[in-house]
Structure 1
Amino acid sequence: MIAGFPGVGKTSVAAFLATLVDAVHLSIDAVEESLLASGFARGWQTGVATYEAVRAMAELNLHLGHVVVVDAVNDSEEARETWRRAALATGASLDFVHLVLADVADHQRRLEVRDRGFAFVTEPLWNDVLRRREEYAPWTDPVLEIDTSNHSADQVAAILEKRLALRSIS
């Protein structure tokens, strides 16, 4: 489970990691984009539905023996409980990874220049990220925190592969 604020590199790291370890990559934003494009209203209920849809897909893939890499902000205990339930239901291990970007100017720049091609999931503004920082729930689980300031996404993925010893069952 790769968590962190918008713009720290979650999706890029998750994609590299999934390729590196032959895992399934599930992105909250991609599923939310699909729900919003299908006419769901933007808001809390759609956010919960998105997490639950991704959890269901994670469980299906975990039951098949795949490593699953999920990327999501995961800023609340309720969001993190989603992944605890999936791990419990499947007997899978759960590793929380929290990506941070200590270089604040770089974080703001990355956020302001990114365009992920979504039509319905809007890119947050820097003030949105600052507000979310104030609301971000402290971690109660063990969490591996990595600063992406001085590492490319593929370098972070390689670090995670070694630290977490990830491989799919084939």
Structure 2
Amino acid sequence: MTLLAITGLPGTGKSSLAEGMGKRTGVPVFAGDWLLGALKPHGVLDGLSRPAFLALYYDLLGTLIRRQLMFGQSAIVDCLLDDEIADRWARTAARFGSRLFVVECVCTDETEHRRRLERRQRAIPGWHEVGWDHVDRMRAEYPPLTGEHLTVDAMDPFEDNLGLINTYIGGGFEPTNQ
């Protein structure tokens, strides 16, 4: 079983790649924004400090990861990630005989990155679209990853990036236990 975390700034293609890997493999994709979108209408996020918000975000994703791994099943996670959370999830994966693979998505052409962000319509119920100011804030809040990871560029063809990810994780996901 494999734990794959796909991270990167908004608009760099992480959700598209996570969904593409999920569709090809049948492995469930857990997306942080979808979890938050489900909580937002219920007021759960109202008034939370930034540290409390982030703790909730990563604990929800961590719980879903643990549950998959407990059952001997692989998982894909679509979220912003830093080294501390990656280390925590790597330890969780190791406890279940799995390994964490981290893929960082970037877009090396800022003009194209802005264009993609401005045109995207994710339509996550309860959640919002973000602007370039949010990208700048996330860039400041999330330093570059220093741990082992693969970097893919949104300027490269989508299929090529999926192939790079598949190679990085060793040829694909193992079949899940029935």
Task: Normalising by structure 1, report the TM-score.
Answer: 0.87
> Which stretch of structure 1 is more off in the superposition, 42-51 or 135-144?
42-51
What percent of counterpart residues are identical? 26
Q: Deviations over 1:137-165 (max 9, x none)?
A: 2323111001111212x442232112212
Rounded to whole Å, the distance in 2 between the matches of 1:40 and 1:65 is 31
Match of 2:21 in 1: 17
CA contact (8 A) 1:22 1:168 kept: no
Q: Give the conservation status (yes or no) of the 8 Å contact 2:150–2:168.
A: no
- The partner residue of 2:64 within 35, 57, 65 is 57
After TM superposition, the structure 1 = structure 2 runs for residues 72-91 of structure 1, keeping only pairs within 5 Å, are: 72-74=79-81, 76-91=82-97
CA distance in 2, matches of 1:70, 1:93: 13
Would the aligned equivalents of 1:67 and 1:166 in 2 still touch at CA under 8 Å?
no
Q: Distance in 2 between matches of 1:115 and 1:82?
A: 32
Residues 141 and 157 of structure 1: CA distance in aligned 2, closer, same or farther (over 3 Å): same
1:123 alignment partner in structure 2: 129
Distance across 1 between alignment mates of 2:41 and 2:96: 31
Match of 1:6 in 2: 10
Q: 2:120 aligns with which of 114, 122, 138?
A: 114
What secondary structure is seen at the aligned counterpart in 2 of 1:69?
Answer: strand
Give the match for residue 92 of structure 1.
98
Q: Provide closer, same or farther for how the CA distance between residues 49 and 120 of structure 1 changes in structure 2, counting only shifts above 3 A.
A: same
* Letter paired with 1:66: Q
Instruction: Give unpaired runs (5+ residues) of structure 2.
Output: none
Does residue 156 of structure 1 match 2:144? no
Return the TM-score normalized by structure 2: 0.84
Contact 1:5 1:129 survives alignment (8 Å):
yes
Go from structure 1 to structure 2 and tell me whether the alpha carbon gap of 1:119 and 1:64 turns closer, same or farther (over 3 Å shift): closer
User: How far is 1:82 from its partner?
Assistant: 4.1
| 1:119 shift after superposition | 4.5
| Cα deviation 1:47-70 (Å, max 9, x = unaligned) | 321221111111111122222110
| CA RMSD, Structure 1 to Structure 2 (Å) | 1.9
Is contact 2:93-2:99 (8 Å) kept?
A: yes
Once residues 58 and 11 of structure 2 are traced to their aligned partners in structure 1, the CA distance between those partners, rounded to angstroms, is 19
Tell me how far apart the structure 2 counterparts of residues 21 and 131 of structure 1 sit (CA, whole Å).
33
Report whether the alignment pairs 1:102 with 2:108. yes
CA deviation after TM superposition for structure 1 residue 16, in Å: 0.8
Unaligned runs of 5+ in 1: none
Contact 2:106–2:152 (CA under 8 A) maintained in structure 1: yes
Q: 1:64 is matched by which residue type in structure 2?
A: F
